[in-house]
Amino acid sequence: MSSADKFDAIVVGAGPAGSACAYILAREGKAVLLVERGDSAGAKNVSGGRLYAHALKALGDEFDISGGVERKVAREEIMVMAGNRSITVSYHDPELGGEGQIPNSYTVLRATLDGWMASRGEEAGAILACGIRVDDVLVQDGRVVGVRAGDDEVYADVVVAADGVNSLLAQRAGLIGDIPARNVAVGVKEVIALPSKVIEERFALREDEGAALLMLGCTGGVKGGAFLYTNKESVSLGCVVAPEEVAHKGKPVHRLLQELKLHPAVYPLIEGGETVEYSAHLVSEAGIRGVPGNLHRPGMLLAGDSAGFVINLGYTIRGMDLAILSGVAAARAILAEADPARVGPAYVSELEKLKVLPAMRATRGYVDLMEVPRLYENYPYLAVELFRCLFTVDGDVPARMLDTARGALRSANLSLWQVAKDAWRGLKI
């Protein structure tokens, strides 16, 4: 990077947010520098993961994602677990999988996805500089005018911080403070290699179809859950938990994941596979409450995870799609406003138009519901216990339904009153 360069925009971080932003800006003829600390885009990144495809529309019809994704999700499963027992709900829908066209979501591996997206940005004319860690923002008269990496300084009209959930840049720029531990969860994951034929047989999938499985009740009572996504020739199996509760209960998250691998309902899905990578990453859990009051300051915008744009509803987690949309929103604002002072407000109104902020606001209640501690142990236990009673025939005189339910409630440590209150809370959303 030479100090003589001045760009229209510097985008820090080649995740989905940064690459989407750089792609649009470059396509529209702007001089864009996309800086990434990893040796390649994606080398530092982890998600579950699946990418909800709707966000790609904002990149334009010509944007091709084919080389960046694994399978089209046509099977959605939810597993509720208590001890060795489990209930699985499975929803199969060829139309979800897009039947050869655009699906609802794709499974992804981040080295591939991020590498692919950054290359599209480069193709459109952005300069991709990997292996450079941005250390600080440069400020003149209260305005962000560029970035510093080591001894290098580079200038631009706008800096877009797309540097992820643990955004040192947003902190440097004074847009966010210390990240409260209760606002994040930590996720760990193993990628387990399996032949594609085996994956398709085990999950009853056609050749390019994929499955997404979300699990509840497997975190030892800690707020969180687990996931399994099928890639082309591997599955991604991981756990996501609240670190404060992990510290309190004392069982490390990697141990939870090891136990999950041997769970009688999970083991058959991964049997014969070989773990080829182990990863960990934070994910924002606070919903709209985790979004900073100021998403911009003169000369600088926050996009993607650095702005807290993640919606985690337990059965779906949306981060990458919101990252892409917010990257596009940033690009549109920069393109629309010649006056730098107006770029920030324009960004916020683009976030409204692209439904990023409205979606965050609308899901506030769900995020609150996730705080109910009973969701992670008592309710899974109750559900599994009811199914056990339903299916067990032991030759005894069958109990009345009401007595069965009462017994299950008691053994799940729940009162009818508590259940009614929680149900009401859920229905109010």
**What are the residues binding other proteins (CB under 8 A)?**
37-39, 42-47, 109-112, 114, 131-133, 149-150, 165-166, 168, 178-181, 184, 186, 188, 190-192, 234, 243-244, 246-247, 250-254, 258-259, 261-262, 267, 270-282
Given ligand FAD, other proteins, none, residue 12, with its beta carbon under 5 to 8 Å by kind, binds: ligand FAD
CB of residue 72 to other proteins, shortest distance in Å: 19
Q: Binder to ligand FAD among 157, 208, 321, 385 (CB under 6 A)?
A: 321
Give the separation between CA 9 and CA 34, rounded to whole angstroms: 9
d(C-alpha 1, C-alpha 300), whole Å: 20
Q: Toward other proteins, which CB reaches closer, 38 or 217? A: 38
320 binds ligand FAD (CB under 6 A): yes
Residues forming a β-bridge with 101: none
Helix-strand-coil split of the chain, %, nearest 5 = 40, 25, 35
Which C-beta is closer to other proteins: that of 17 or that of 246?
Answer: 246
The distance in angstroms from the start CA to the end CA of the chain is 50
Binding residues among 164-223 for ligand FAD as defined by CB under 6 A: 164, 168-169, 187, 189
Q: What are residue 173's phi and psi, to 5 degrees?
A: -80, 0
How many residues lie near ligand FAD (CB under 6 A)? 41
Q: Least distance in Å: CB of 207 to other proteins?
A: 21
| Interaction of residue 308 with ligand FAD, rule CB under 6 A | no
CB of 401 to ligand FAD, least distance (A): 38
Q: Which is nearer to ligand FAD, 85 or 120 (CB)?
A: 120
Q: Which residue has the tokens 């529209």?
A: 28
CA-closest candidate to residue 377, choices 78, 79, 80: 80
* DSSP symbols for 142-196: TEEEEEEETTEEEEEEEEEE---SS-HHHHHTTSS-SPPGGGEEEEEEEEEE--H
Question: Crossing angle of helices 16-27/110-124, nearest 10°?
Answer: 20
68 lies in the site for ligand FAD, by CB under 6 A: no
Span of 319-327, 336-344, 377-385, 386-394 interacting with ligand FAD by CB under 6 A:
319-327
Query: Is-contact 108 320, C-beta < 8 A?
Result: yes
Burial pattern 169-179, b for ≥16 Cβ within 10 A else e, equals bbebbebbeeb
Minimum Å distance from CB 367 to ligand FAD? 15
CB of 390 to ligand FAD, least distance (A): 32
- List of E strands, 285-362: 296-297, 300-302, 311-312, 317-318
146 binds ligand FAD (CB under 6 A): no
- Residue 167 or residue 378: which is nearer to ligand FAD going by CB? 167
| 257 contacts ligand FAD (rule: CB under 6 A) | no
Q: How far is the CB of 122 from ligand FAD (least distance, A)?
A: 15
Interface positions, 6-65, toward ligand FAD (CB under 6 A): 12-18, 35-38, 44-51
387: exposed, middle or buried (Cβ count in 10 Å: 0-12, 13-18, 19+): middle
Nearest CA-CA partner of 214 in 349, 297, 317: 317
Q: How far is the CB of 363 from ligand FAD (least distance, A)?
A: 14
Query: What does 48 bind: other proteins, ligand FAD, none (CB cut-off 5 to 8 Å by kind)?
Result: ligand FAD
Smallest separation, CB 36 to ligand FAD (Å):
5
Tell me the chain's radius of gyration from C-alpha atoms: 23
The residue (of 136 and 422) whose beta carbon lies closer to ligand FAD is 136
Burial of 373 (0-12, 13-18, 19+ CB in 10 A): exposed
Window of 84-92, 263-271, 303-311, 346-354 that interacts with ligand FAD by CB under 6 A: 303-311
Q: CB-wise, 36 or 157, nearer to ligand FAD?
A: 36
Distance from C-alpha of 312 to C-alpha of 308, rounded to nearest angstrom: 11
Name the DSSP letter for residue 248.
H
Site residues (CB under 6 A) for ligand FAD?
A: 12-18, 35-38, 44-51, 133-134, 162-164, 168-169, 187, 189, 238, 240, 281, 283, 304-305, 310, 317-321, 323
